[in-house]
Structure 1
Amino acid sequence: MTEADPPPFYAAHIFVCTNRRAENHPRGSCAARGSEKLRDYMKARAKELKIPDIRVNTAGCLERCEFGPAMVIYPEGVWYRPTSVEDVEEILQVHVVGGGRVRRVMLTEKDVPPPKG
């Protein structure tokens, strides 16, 4: 962020991939791995916890299909692959509310898709 940039509109802006590919697609898809349920839980739980200045959005393909369900939290740009509502709960509590990281479900620079055909 430079001096000329406006302040972020949200303290946390979370994008959850809900892309769905054909069942037999070699890369799979986040929706087939339950991302819609996790997104819905995150939205409802954030509201229930009254977390201020947060937005949970549906995203199309985030290009990390092999590691899905995938989500990314801005402004930090931290990527996660939650597989349960318990993971989502921990991400909300530790990352969004507490400012920490949930390392066990983080996607890192080592988690890259295989080269395209």
Structure 2
Amino acid sequence: MSYFKHHVFFCCNQRPEGEDCCASRGSVELQTYAKDRIAALGLKGQGKVRINKAGCLDRCDDGPVLVVYPDNVWYTAIDKSDVDEIISEHLQNGRIVERLKI
């Protein structure tokens, strides 16, 4: 069995100025928000959810990008409400958020 039920990686890669990337689209702030929400909801820890930063996930055109393992589901999250929906629907209730899936 996996140590975490879900392991979520947010691309937080920062490319040189002028080059589009997830970090320039707000991914670092969204990752911090997700981490705080998971903790506030009591979903953090062994057997639960882990939120991590990742380097480039090579999906810049779809960013900000995150991936949920072990489900191997890739999402784009534009704002905090998208993150809330992914947490509520996918991480808490096991339902993939089709509108955000890439």
What TM-score, normalized by structure 2, do the two folds share?
0.94
Equivalent AA in structure 1 for residue 51 of structure 2: V
Please state how far the C-alpha of 1:22 moved relative to its aligned partner: 1.7
Matched, 1:42 2:34: yes
What TM-score, normalized by structure 1, do the two folds share?
0.82
Per-residue displacement from partner, 1:61-94 (whole Å, max 9, x unpaired)? Answer: 0000111000000000000000000000000000
Of residues 6, 10, 24, the one that matches 1:16 is 10
Larger radius of gyration: 1
Percent sequence identity over aligned pairs: 40
Matched, 1:29 2:24: no
Higher relative contact order (CA 8 A, sep 6+): 2
Unaligned runs of 5+ in 1: 1-6, 108-117
Equivalent AA in structure 2 for residue 103 of structure 1: E
Please state how far the C-alpha of 1:24 moved relative to its aligned partner: 1.8
Runs (4 or more) in structure 1 with deviation over 4 Å come to none
Equivalent AA in structure 2 for residue 91 of structure 1: I
Equivalent AA in structure 2 for residue 30 of structure 1: C
Q: Show the counterpart of 1:95.
A: 90
Please state how far the C-alpha of 1:12 moved relative to its aligned partner: 0.4
Count of residues in correspondence between the two structures: 99
Q: Show the counterpart of 1:67.
A: 62
More helix by share: 2
